[in-house]
Amino acid sequence: MAQNKVQYQRGLSMSEFFDRYGLSQQCEALVRAWRWPKGFACPRCQGGWHSEFRRQDRLYFQCSACRYQCSLVCGTVFESSKLSLPKWFLAMHLMTQAKNNVSALELKRHLGVSYPTAWLLKHKLMQVMVDREQWRQLTGRVEIDDAYLGGEVHGGKAGRGSPNKIPFVAAVQTTESGQPVLMCLSQRPFTKESIRAFAEQSLVAPATLVSDGLGCFKVVRGTGILHEPHVTGGGAASAKHPSFVAVNTALGNIKTSLAGTYHAFGFAKYAHRYLGQVQYLFNRRFDLRAILVRLARAASQAVPCPLRAVRAAESSC
C-alpha cells in the first residue's frame, strides 16, 4: 500500500524535543531571540542598556535608563503563568505533533498541572493559531461544503437547519487534479449574507468555487468568483462525489479529530477556536518538524491573552 507522504513524514520525536527544548535556558534563548532579534529593548522607553537577574528561576531584565523591570515573558502569551517555558514548549509539541486533537485532560496528565491550568494554556495556544490563520485566503480551484459540529445522531451528516449544531463552512483549495493544498474553516450560518462575507474575505480571484449547489453559495458570483455547482442529491452519494473528495476527506478528519471534545464543557462556545486549530495544523502539515518552532515564535510575538479574553467567546486576544 502506498504511504501517505504527509502522514509518514518524520516529525519531531519526543527524545529530540527534550534534547532541544527540555531546559529553561534553551527555551529562554529562543524566546529572547524571537522577542528581541536586535537585542533587548525596554518595553517602556525602548532603551537597550540593561542588567539581568533571576528570581525564582525566571529571567528578568532591568532597563538602565528608566529602571523598568520586566520578565522575559511579559507581553507575550506566556505571561501571567506559573508554568516554566519547557512546559509551555511541551504543550505546544503535543498539540502540534498529535494527529488528533489533544484534550486539556491529556495535557493535564502530560504536564503534571491542574485541569484549569491545562485548559487555559490550551485555549491560549489555540487562540494564537486562530490569529495566525485569520487572514488565510484561498484561490484557484476551491471545494466548499457546509457542515456541522457536535450533536450528531448515529453518524452521517446532520440535516441542515437542525437545532443545537454549530454550523461552519469548510473550503479546501486544491490542485487542478484535486489534491488538497490549503484549508479554511469558518463558523458561520449558511445565509447569503454570511457566505458573501466569507467569499470576500477568504477567496481571491481567479477562483472557482466547487459546491454541491446549496443556494447560498450562488452569491459568490457577485464577488468575481466563478461558481461550479454539482447537484449531488446529498447523503452518501454526495460524500463520494469525485468533485468533493478533498473537502469530504477534510470534513471526515475534522470529525475524527474533534469527536472526543464535542461534549466537553463549553465546546459550542469555543468551536471557532477548535476549528482554527484544525485549520492551522492542516495548513502546516507538510513540515511537522518545523511546526513547533513556528508556533512558539508566534506565541513569543503575540500579545498576552488573559483569562477574561479567553472566556469571551468571540474575542480575539
Residue numbers of the site for Zn ion (CB under 5 A)? 42, 44-45, 47, 63, 65-66, 68
DSSP string, 67-121: --EEETTTTSTTTT--S-HHHHHHHHHHHHH-SSPPPHHHHHHHHT--HHHHHHH
Smallest distance, Å, CB 74 to Zn ion? 13
Smallest distance, Å, CB 24 to Zn ion? 25
Phi then psi for residue 96, to 5 deg, are -105, -20
Determine how β-strand 203-211 pairs with β-strand 180-187.
unpaired
Smallest distance, Å, CB 63 to Zn ion? 3
Distances (CA, A) of 64 to 54, 142, 211, 316: 16, 55, 61, 34
Q: Return the residue matching grid coordinates 450560518.
A: 189
Smallest distance, Å, CB 209 to Zn ion? 52
Residue type, 146: D
CA–CA separation, 276 vs 278, rounded Å?
5
In the complex with Zn ion, the residue whose CB is nearer, 68 or 262, is 68
Q: Is residue 262 classed as helix, strand or coil in its secondary structure?
A: coil
Helix (H) or strand (E) holding 255: helix 245-258
In the complex with Zn ion, the residue whose CB is nearer, 70 or 288, is 70
In the complex with Zn ion, the residue whose CB is nearer, 13 or 64, is 64
Smallest distance, Å, CB 77 to Zn ion? 23
Smallest distance, Å, CB 64 to Zn ion? 8
CB atoms within 10 A of CB 314: 7
In the complex with Zn ion, the residue whose CB is nearer, 42 or 83, is 42
Number of residues that this document lists for the chain: 317
In the complex with Zn ion, the residue whose CB is nearer, 63 or 171, is 63
